[in-house]
Amino acid sequence: MQKLIVESKFNNKKLSIFLYAHFNGLTSSTLHKALRKKDIRINDVRINEDQIVHEFDTITIYILDEFLYKNINLEKIYEDENILVINKPAELEVVSNSNEETATTILQKEYSYIKPCHRLDRNTTGLVLYAKDPETLEILSEKFKTKEIKKNYICTVIGKMPKKEELLKAYLFKDTKKSLVYISDVPKKGYQEILTKYNVISEDQKNKTSKLDVELITGRTHQIRAHLAHIGHPIVGDGKYGINEINKKLNFKYQQLKNYKIQFLFTSPAGKLEYLNNKIIKTSL
């Protein structure tokens, strides 16, 4: 049995949309079978059809976990006694407030203590750094705050960039209710400064796209996706900040954005993690 509370973004949406978003292994045939057998309840009332749900509705489903979740094997890129770095696939959250399976819940089945030191969007792929004990988590969290850990992303964007390399500066506002961010070129109340640096790796003349190496100087929600879209070069496949017509034409269902490199560049004491200084962890492009 699974019990979920409907979030605001699914208000007035179909039950099926809500369930597919929370269970990566749920198929339409399994869902329809459960509806026929009245194995799904909304606010404790059995239902037999795909209904509209509303915010704060309680959804109870009686479907075995094996039919709800895909069996995901996370690729481990690096591991020692203190840290773990995995290569996260798309369609998987690092953490979640719902009951859905995440990269972290998968790892918790194997490790007595495992905590992510940063996050990636659901459909952003690549490296996620985990701490294997509280002391390590505290050290690495501080290193991220003081920008002594550097992350590089590779992405494919629409169009030709105006410069081969550039440090972009803007201001970002996070709308939590809409799960969106907004970018401004000038300071505004409630907006935080963002810095995004890119280098052009290659250009595809046929598809009119560019491949970039992007470094996050600041790390805000959806920063790379929204910042590049703001300057007219959204990431290919991005359904939220991109251009759906081009995404469909190029046949990409999620954003072509990957965190491919993590560098430890300590400028202050790192305690038991001092051995990581100047270490680079990479995954394939």
> Looking at the annotation, which residues are catalytic?
121
Q: Answer yes or no: are the C-beta atoms of 254 and 123 closer than 8 Å.
A: yes
Name residues whose C-beta falls within 8 Å of residue 88's C-beta, 6 or more positions apart in sequence. Answer: 74, 94, 103, 120, 124, 125, 126, 127, 128
Q: How many CA atoms does the CB half-sphere of 252 hold within 13 Å?
A: 24
Beta bridge partners of 126: 88, 259
Q: Which two tokens stand for residue 146?
A: 């003081």
Q: Which two tokens stand for residue 239?
A: 């359904």
Please report the DSSP string for 157-206 in residue order. EES--SSSEEEEEEEEEEETTTTEEEEESS--TT-EEEEEEEEEEEEETT
Q: What's the DSSP call for residue 235?
A: B
